[in-house]
A and B are shown apart, each in its own frame.
Chain A
Amino acid sequence: MKKNNPSYSNGGRFRDNLATRHRAGVIWQIVFQASTVIGIIALTALLLNIIDGAFGYVAYEARVDPASLAVDGVAIEDLPQELLVEILRQNLSSGAFNKLDNEIPFNERSRINVYDLVIERIVRYDVTESWTLRESLTQGAEIRARVIEEYPDAELRFISWINAEFIQRPQSSEAVNAGVRTAILGSLLTILVTILVAFPLGVGAAIYLEEYALDNWLNRLIRTNINNLAGVPSIIYGILGLAIFVRVLGVLTSGAVFGSVDPTTASGRTVLSAGLTLALLVLPLIIINAQEALRAVPQSLRQASLSVGATKWQTVWSHVLPNAIPGILTGTILAVSRAIGETAPLIVVGASTAISFDPNIFSRFTTLPIQIYQWTARPQAEWRHLAAAAILVLIVLLLSLNATAIVLRNRSTKRF
C-alpha cells in the first residue's frame, strides 16, 4: 500500500496540492464576498443618486416681479383675497379669468388657492437652471458666480425639492408649483379598491385550497394556475384591465350606471378600473402568502375543534383564522406594497397625464409611480428633481408599510 501511494505517506504531493486548494478557497471566498458587496454598493448608489436629485441649488426668475404687484406697499403675501382676485382680473385676459371663475367661483376658493393662482399665472417663477446636491456642495462658489453673471435677475436658493408644499400641492404645469397631492391621493384610493377586492377573494381562495379542497385534478389545476399567474408580467394585467374593465365594463367603471355623468371618465379609465386591475395582479400573491400562513397553523388545533363538535366553518373561523391572521396580514401588506409601486399596468389601463383635482373612484387617475414616470420622461432637469423628490415620498410610504409588516410578524410569531 505504502509503495503504491507514496504521495499520501510522506505527504509531499498531497501537501503541495493542499496549499493550492486553500489558496483557491481564499480567492473564491473573496469573489463571493465581493459579489455581495457589489450588490450593496448598487443599492447605495441608487439611493444616493435619488438623494442627489432631491436637493440642491436652483436659480429661478420671476416673469413679473412680485414687488411690482404690491398694493399700497402691502406685499402680495399679506393681501386679502379680494385684492388678489383684483390682481388676477387686471393681469389675466378676460377669457382666462372667466375660465378660472367657471371652474370654481373665486368667492368659493380659499385665499391660499387664489394666492397660488397669482403666483402661478402672473408672477410665474421659471427655473432657469438647477443643480444636483453633489454639484451644489462641491462647486457652490462657481454656481453662485455663474448665476450672478448669467442670470442677473435670478434668485439662487438651496432648496429641498421634497417639502411640505410639495406634498400638499396638486400637479401643475410649472415645476415650481408642482406637487404630489393628487398622486398620493390617487395611489391611496387605487390601493383601497385593490385591497377591498383582493383581500377577501384572496383569503377566501387560500382557505378553500388549504382547508376544503380535496386532492383532485380541478384543485391541482387551480393551484398550478395560481403559481403561473404569479409569474405573469405585470404589463399583461394592464392589457387585460384595458380590455375588460375599461372597455367591456366601461359603463360600470366610469360610474355611468350609478348616475355619475362626468364626461371625462366616460371611457372607463378611472381609479376603479386601475384598482381592479391591480387587484387581479396581487391576487395570486395574496393567495400564496395566505396559504403559507394557514399551513403554519398546526393540525392538532383543527382536530381539537372538530372533535368537540364544531363544524368545518366554525373551526376555520374561530380557530384557524385567528391564528393565521397575522401571517395573512403580513403577506397582504407585502403584496400591496408591490401594487403601490406598479407603473406599467396603470399606464396601459390609461393613467392621465395632468390632473389637479382630488380624485374619487370614478374620476380619471394618476398615482405616485405614474407621476414619477412622467416627470422622469421630461428632458428638463427641474422635472427630474421633482421625480427624485416623488421617489423619496414613495420610498417612505413603502418603507412604513414594510415596517408595519415586520412589526406584525414579530409581535405575533407564535410557536406551536
Chain B
Amino acid sequence: MPGKKEAAQGTGYPVRKEGLRKRRRVGETIIQSLLFFAGFFSIFTTLGIVYELGKEALLFFRTPEVDPWEFLTGTSWQPHINEFGILPLATSTFITSLIAMTIAIPLGMAAAIYLSEYASHKVRRTLKPILEILAGLPTIVYGYFALMFVTPLLRSLFGNDVVQIYNMASGGLVMGILILPLIASMSEDALNAVPRALREAAYGLGATKLEVVLKVVVPAALSGIAAAIIVGISRAIGETMIVAVSVGAGPNFTFNPFQSAETMTGHIVRISGGDLSYDSIDYNSIFAIGLLLFFITLTLNIVSQRIVRRFREVYE
C-alpha cells in the first residue's frame, strides 16, 4: 500500500489522506444489515417449525400413555382411551393421495404434452390461463365441490349402501383435479425447455410426431416431469381442506376408498377446531402428527430439487 501511495504522489496529483480506499458509509452498512436480517429471517421460520414441533412432539412422546413404537405401528387412534397409533391416519392420507395421483399424473402429463407439442399458439394461450385459474382456486372450494358434486355422483354410480356420505374416494378424486393443473403446468415448462433442434433432428430421421414426443422430447424433459410429480405428491399429502370437508371426521383403519376415514391433516384441523387447551395430550398430538407431515413433505421436496439438479439435461 505505501508503495502505491508513493507512486501516486510521484505523478504530482494531489492525493487525499484516505486515498482511493473505500469510505465507510454508516447508512450503507445499516441498510445492508437490515437486508441481511430479512434474508436470514426465513431461517428463523424453519428453526421455529423444527423447534416448536419437536418440543411439543417430545412432550407428547414423554407422556406415559404414548409409546413411540405404538405410535408408528398402532392401528387405532383414539385419544379418549389413550390409543395413539398413527396408521389409520397415515393409511387414509396414503389412499387419498394415491387416488389423487392416479388421476393427476396421467391426465396432467397428457395435458402438458398436448399443450406443449400439439396445441396451436392460440389454443395454448387460451387453455393455459384456464388451467392456472383451476390451480389458483382456494382448496375449500374444491372441498365444497367434492361434497356437493362428486360424492352424490359416486353414490348414484355405485349405490348408497356402498359409498358412504363421507368417503376417501371423492376427496381423492377432487384432490387429483386440484393437482392436475399443477403437474400439467410444471411439466409443460419442462417440455418447452427442450430445444427445437432435438425435435428437428428426430423428424429428419423420419420419426412421426408421436415418436418425436415420446422418444425424444419426454425423455429429455424427464427430470422436470419427475420433479413436478414429486411436488404433486407432496402437495397431496399436505392437502387439508378437501379431505377435512369430504373424507370424514373419525380415524378409520381401512383400505376401502368408499368408507369414511380421517387423514393426518384432517385430524389436525378437527382437533384444533375446538378451543384446544394447552398442554393437553390432544394439543401435543397435533404437533407430533405435524412433525411427521413436515418430514415427509420436506424429504419429498428435497428429493425433487435433487432430481432437477442432478438429472437436468443442459442445452446451451
Residues in A lying within 8 Å of B, measured CB to CB: 21-22, 24-25, 28-29, 31-36, 38-40, 42-43, 45-46, 49-50, 53, 200-205, 207-209, 212-213, 219, 221-222, 224-229, 231-236, 238-240, 242-244, 247, 267, 280, 283-284, 287, 311-313, 334, 337-338, 340-344, 347-348, 350, 369, 372-373, 376-377, 384, 387-388, 391, 394-395, 398, 402
- A39 near B39 with CB under 8 A, answer no
* 8 A Cβ contacts from B44-61 to A: 45-46, 48-49, 52-53, 56
CB neighbours of A43 from chain B (8 A): 130, 133-134
How close is A313's CB to chain B, nearest CB, in angstroms? Answer: 5
How close is B204's CB to chain A, nearest CB, in angstroms? Answer: 16
Query: Does B76 sit within 8 A of A, measured CB to CB?
Result: no
Q: Kindly identify which residue among A29, A224, A238, A347 contacts B118, using a CB–CB cutoff of 8 Å.
A: A29
Interface code B275-316, partner A: CB below 8 Å = 1, 0 otherwise? 110100000001100100110011011100100000000000
CB neighbours of A369 from chain B (8 A): 138, 140, 241
- A235 near B238 with CB under 8 A, answer yes
CB neighbours of A312 from chain B (8 A): 28, 32
- A342 near B138 with CB under 8 A, answer yes
CB neighbours of B117 from chain A (8 A): 32
- A242 near B272 with CB under 8 A, answer yes
Cα(A48)–Cα(B174), bound, Å: 15
- B43 near A222 with CB under 8 A, answer yes
- In the A-B complex, the 8 residue pairs with the smallest Cβ-Cβ separation, listed nearest first, are A233-B238, A341-B138, A204-B38, A35-B110, A208-B39, A32-B114, A344-B240, A231-B301
Query: Does B20 sit within 8 A of A, measured CB to CB?
Result: no
- A235 near B293 with CB under 8 A, answer yes
How close is A330's CB to chain B, nearest CB, in angstroms? Answer: 13
Task: Give me 14 A-to-B residue pairs in the complex whose CB atoms sit less than 8 angstroms apart, sorted by A's number.
Answer: A25-B209, A25-B210, A28-B214, A29-B114, A39-B177, A208-B32, A219-B39, A228-B46, A228-B298, A233-B238, A235-B265, A240-B45, A338-B136, A376-B140
How close is B283's CB to chain A, nearest CB, in angstroms? Answer: 9
- A343 near B28 with CB under 8 A, answer no
CB neighbours of B53 from chain A (8 A): 236, 239-240
Cα(A334)–Cα(B177), bound, Å: 21
Cα(A285)–Cα(B210), bound, Å: 37
Residues in B lying within 8 Å of A, measured CB to CB: 25, 27-28, 31-32, 34-43, 45-46, 48-49, 52-53, 56, 106-108, 110-111, 113-115, 117-119, 127, 130-131, 133-134, 136-145, 147-149, 177, 180-181, 184, 208-211, 214, 231, 234-235, 237-241, 244-245, 265, 268-269, 272-273, 275-276, 278, 286-287, 290, 293-294, 297-298, 300-302, 305
- A240 near B240 with CB under 8 A, answer no
How close is B102's CB to chain A, nearest CB, in angstroms? Answer: 13
How close is B192's CB to chain A, nearest CB, in angstroms? Answer: 15
- B211 near A21 with CB under 8 A, answer yes
Known: A208-B35, A208-B36, A348-B268. A239 touches B134 (CB 8 A): no
Given A32-B113, A233-B237, A240-B53, 6 other A-B residues pairs in contact with their CB atoms under 8 A: A35-B107, A46-B149, A50-B141, A203-B38, A224-B305, A340-B138
- A239 near B208 with CB under 8 A, answer no
Q: Kindly identify which residue among A212, A391, A402 contacts B35, using a CB–CB cutoff of 8 Å.
A: A212
Residue of B111, B113, B140 most packed against chain A (CB within 10 A): B140
CB neighbours of A42 from chain B (8 A): 134, 177, 180
Q: Kindly identify which residue among B37, B107, B269 contacts A344, using a CB–CB cutoff of 8 Å.
A: B269
Cα(A394)–Cα(B139), bound, Å: 12
CB neighbours of A50 from chain B (8 A): 141, 144-145
Cα(A280)–Cα(B42), bound, Å: 8
B153 closest partner in A (C-beta): A45
CB neighbours of A402 from chain B (8 A): 133, 136
Q: Kindly identify which residue among A32, A38, A391 contacts B141, using a CB–CB cutoff of 8 Å.
A: A391
A42 closest partner in B (C-beta): B177
Known: A228-B302, A344-B244. A46 touches B32 (CB 8 A): no
A230 closest partner in B (C-beta): B301
CB neighbours of A28 from chain B (8 A): 210, 214
- A239 near B140 with CB under 8 A, answer no
A349 closest partner in B (C-beta): B272
CB neighbours of B138 from chain A (8 A): 340-343, 369, 394, 398
Q: Kindly identify which residue among B42, B52, B210, B235 contacts A222, using a CB–CB cutoff of 8 Å.
A: B42
Q: Kindly identify which residue among A204, A238, A376, A388 contacts B34, using a CB–CB cutoff of 8 Å.
A: A204
Residue of B144, B145, B276, B278 most packed against chain A (CB within 10 A): B144
Cα(A350)–Cα(B133), bound, Å: 29
CB neighbours of A243 from chain B (8 A): 52, 56, 287
- A53 near B148 with CB under 8 A, answer yes
Q: Kindly identify which residue among A219, A239, A341 contacts B268, using a CB–CB cutoff of 8 Å.
A: A239
A18 closest partner in B (C-beta): B208
Q: Kindly identify which residue among A283, A377, A398 contacts B41, using a CB–CB cutoff of 8 Å.
A: A283
- B48 near A209 with CB under 8 A, answer no
- B40 near A222 with CB under 8 A, answer yes
- B127 near A36 with CB under 8 A, answer yes
How close is A239's CB to chain B, nearest CB, in angstroms? Answer: 4
- A46 near B141 with CB under 8 A, answer yes
Known: A201-B38, A235-B240. A40 touches B127 (CB 8 A): yes
How close is A300's CB to chain B, nearest CB, in angstroms? Answer: 22
- B294 near A232 with CB under 8 A, answer yes
Q: Kindly identify which residue among B35, B113, B115, B147 contacts A207, using a CB–CB cutoff of 8 Å.
A: B35
Cα(A398)–Cα(B133), bound, Å: 10
B46 closest partner in A (C-beta): A225
